[in-house]
Amino acid sequence: MSLIASCKACEAEPWAWLNDAHTQFPRGATPESRLPVVCLKTHPEHKWTIADRRRQERYKKDNLSFTWRLHTINFGPARQIG
Q: What ranges do the domains of the chain cover?
A: 3-70
- Helix, strand, coil percent content, the chain, rounded in steps of 5: 70, 0, 30
Provide the pLDDT for residue 48.
84
Asked if the model's pLDDT at residue 67 lies above 60, the reply is no
When pLDDT is averaged across residues 43-62 and rounded to a whole number, the result is 83
Average pLDDT, whole number, for the chain?
A: 77
Identify whether the C-beta of residue 7 lies closer than 8 Å to the C-beta of residue 36.
yes
The answer to whether residue 75 scores a pLDDT higher than 80 is: no
